[in-house]
Amino acid sequence: MRSKIGYTIPNIVFLLFLINVVSLLYQFCNAESEKVSAVFVFGDSTVDPGNNNYLPTVARANFPPYGKDFVNHKPTGRFSNGRLVTDFIASFLGVKENLPPFLDPTLTIDDLMTGVSFASSGGGYDPFTSQLSGALTTSQQLDLFRDYKRKVSMAIGKERTDDLIRKAVYIVSSGTNDFAFNYYGAIVVRRTAYPTISSYQNFLWQNIESFLQGLMVEGAQKIGVVSAPPIGCLPAIITANSKDPIHSRKCIERFNSISIDYNKLLENNLKGLQRWNTRIIYADIYKPVMDMVTRNRQIDFEEVHRGCCGSGLIEADFMCNQNSPVCTNVSKYVFWDSFHPTERAYNFIFKSLETLIRQYIG
């Protein structure tokens, strides 16, 4: 009797110990698989940290006053006074402080391994949009991602690279230029080929779909696709479409409804692209931008319809430069130049996406 109990109790203790070890191991492995390895970004000037500095294009922002509030007040090529949403996301995920451009030749393997941006200012989902401004098309950006994989594979081996690729977060942000510069721009090529805006939006979707499929083939498993902003609230669009743009400025509803229609199409179609091992999420930025512009929820931006750089009515790219006057307090502005948000506005957009990002990586 005695010896039997003495024999059983240590067994139970050992069993409990084993259960503990197994559950600890399980938690450890889970935590490991949840850690984001890197952030990779594709798209236009909203997420280009300076790839265009290495391309023959005028769509650049690597001179003052761009970057006036960035690290060391450095103009990097980011179309803002400071950091972009993707910089905030990269530091939130703990991969790095700011996301560099892939085309920067000084990047080390360590820099590469935590992610880069392949985005190119002036680009769109429509290859013709990118060609208009000398920007990289999305398929060229995907080619660069393939170059990236080859380069990193050579340094750390295929297995580790595949692992890095699988555990990374991918962000795609584009589309505004397709409408603002291309379809509704001076050149009529696309309006002739696609007489209705909805036929053009369907064409854009075909481009988005083949790009995302290409990205999944390369191993992407967590992809966030960013919506269009309220295009009718961009200062340059207000200026070009108002009767008295100097004295009476308000968002152009016609353009905002284009964004709304496009966003619906995007959100719906993305659902159809889900794979068993891939999560694609739709990231809405229409609402946070609209909230800022309409001063919803007591967000204290004083100037919501003009950029901080120059007159704030038309300047972007080379037109916002060393000779442009700059507003006295950039934090009061939603827009830095006539197309792009200020760092404070980008930070607000990032905060509005924080919950979504948390759910998405969990």
Ligand X SMILES: *[C@@H]1O[C@H](CO)[C@@H](O)[C@H](O)[C@H]1NC(C)=O
Q: How far is the CB of 344 from ligand X (least distance, A)?
A: 8
Q: How far is the CB of 245 from ligand X (least distance, A)?
A: 25
Task: Kindly name the residue from 305, 337, 338, 352 that is annotated as catalytic.
Answer: 337
Q: How far is the CB of 89 from ligand X (least distance, A)?
A: 23
Only one residue has tokens 């990002």, namely: 357
Tokens of 117: 């941006």
Q: How far is the CB of 321 from ligand X (least distance, A)?
A: 24
332 is an interface residue for ligand X by CB under 6 A: yes
Only one residue has tokens 């084993």, namely: 18
Helices (H) and strands (E) in the chain, counts: 13, 6
Residues in 287-326 at the binding interface with ligand X, rule: CB under 6 A: 300
Helix (H), strand (E) at residue 28? helix 2-34
Q: How far is the CB of 331 from ligand X (least distance, A)?
A: 4
Tokens of 356: 């979504």
Tokens of 218: 């390369």
73 is catalytic: no
Reported in sequence order, the residue ranges of the chain that DSSP labels E, i.e. its strands, are 39-43, 169-173, 222-226, 279-283, 303-307, 333-335
Task: Kindly name the residue from 174, 227, 338, 340 that is annotated as catalytic.
Answer: 340
Peptide bond into 65 cis (omega under 30): yes
Q: How far is the CB of 320 from ligand X (least distance, A)?
A: 20
Please state, in angstroms and rounded to a whole number, the distance separating the CA atoms of residues 130 and 51: 13
Nearer to ligand X, 72 or 328 (CB): 328
Nearer to ligand X, 226 or 292 (CB): 292
Question: 242 — phi, psi (to 5°)?
Answer: -110, 155
Task: Kindly name the residue from 44, 45, 80, 259 that is annotated as catalytic.
Answer: 45
Only one residue has tokens 């704030």, namely: 312
Which part of the chain contacts ligand X (CB under 6 A), choosing from 40-48, 159-167, 313-321, 328-336?
Answer: 328-336
Judge whether 50 and 101 are in contact, CB under 8 Å: yes
Which part of the chain contacts ligand X (CB under 6 A), choosing from 139-147, 187-195, 327-335, 346-354?
Answer: 327-335
Q: How far is the CB of 326 from ligand X (least distance, A)?
A: 13
Q: How far is the CB of 302 from ligand X (least distance, A)?
A: 6
| Number of chain positions touching ligand X (CB under 6 A) | 4
Q: How many CB atoms lie within 10 A of CB 21?
A: 10
Which part of the chain contacts ligand X (CB under 6 A), choosing from 29-37, 201-209, 252-260, 329-337?
Answer: 329-337
Q: Which of 108, 322, 323, 329 binds ligand X (CB under 6 A)?
A: 329
Q: How many CB atoms lie within 10 A of CB 156?
A: 15
Please state, in angstroms and rounded to a whole number, the distance separating the CA atoms of residues 97 and 90: 6
Please state, in angstroms and rounded to a whole number, the distance separating the CA atoms of residues 336 and 315: 10
Judge whether 93 and 109 are in contact, CB under 8 Å: no
Nearer to ligand X, 331 or 347 (CB): 331
173 is catalytic: no
Judge whether 308 and 326 are in contact, CB under 8 Å: yes
Local structure of 107: helix, strand or coil: coil
Please state, in angstroms and rounded to a whole number, the distance separating the CA atoms of residues 143 and 221: 18
159 is an interface residue for ligand X by CB under 6 A: no
331 is an interface residue for ligand X by CB under 6 A: yes
Please state, in angstroms and rounded to a whole number, the distance separating the CA atoms of residues 323 and 309: 10
Tokens of 277: 């091992």
User: Which positions touch ligand X (CB under 6 A)?
Assistant: 300, 329, 331-332
The residues annotated with a catalytic role in the active site are 45, 337, 340
